[in-house]
Homo-oligomer: A and B are copies of this chain.
Amino acid sequence: MIRLSTKGRYGTRLMVSLAQHYHNRRESIILKKISDEEEISIRYLEQIIIPLKIARLVKSIRGAGGGYILARDPSNIKLREILLALEGACCLVECVDDEDYCDRIKECATYEIWKNASSLLKDYFENTTLQDLVEIADKKNPSVRK
């Protein structure tokens, strides 16, 4: 299957959770809470949030009362940035992103196909913001206030 890894899926859900809290009150939130809400192992979330921190999409606040918080407004964070941080370049095959990966590019017929398909995804994720995701969530669960 052409598959988004759990890192990409869980990480995106993590960012949506952070965005929902960011929106309603600008406080940091602890991973434990997201772990409970989203039913994802906190140990795994801890691993997943590292690349998001490195990419400066989230900030961590240590110590009592600490937690994590978005580094920017959700409307200013593209889904593509999130996936880039979590999974590296958002392309279906290595060779689309790294020309040196395979020396058959010049002959390979499938290269063009994977490249086009990757572009479709890239454009879609480029034009989807974290804010869009929050709005979808709000629409699906009108009653829930976080």
Residues of A within 8 A of B (CB): 1-5, 8-9, 12-13, 16, 39, 79, 83, 87-94, 104, 106-110, 112-114, 116-117, 120-121, 124-125, 128, 133-134, 136-137, 140-141
Contacts and interface: CB of A to CB of B under 8 A. Distances in A.
Nearest to A107: B141
A1 B5 contact: yes
Given A12-B110, A116-B124, A124-B116, A3 B136 contact: no
Nearest to A13: B110
Contacts of A128: 113
Nearest to A79: B113
A91 B2 CA distance: 6
